Amino acid sequence: MFYIYENSSTYIIGKPDRNGVARPDHSQSYKTMSSAKAGLTRIAKASGLLQTDPNYPLYRYSICEAEKFHNNIEKSVKKKNIMNGKEFMEKVNTPYYCSPSSETYWSM
Helices (H), the chain: 33-47, 57-60, 66-68, 103-107
Examine the domain organization and report whether 11 and 59 are in the same domain.
Answer: yes
Number of domains observed in the structure of the chain: 2
Examine the domain organization and report whether 56 and 92 are in the same domain.
Answer: no
Q: Which domain holds residue 80?
A: 76-107
Examine the domain organization and report whether 54 and 17 are in the same domain.
Answer: yes
pLDDT for residue 20 is more than 90: no
Contact 25, 12 (CB under 8 A): yes
| Interacting residues of 27 by C-beta distance below 8 A, sequence separation 6+ | 14
- Single-letter amino acid, residue 85: G
Examine the domain organization and report whether 41 and 63 are in the same domain.
Answer: yes
Mean pLDDT of 33-45: 95
pLDDT for residue 108 is more than 90: no
For 29-105, list the strands marked E by DSSP: 61-65, 76-80, 87-91
> pLDDT band for position 76 (50/70/90)?
very high
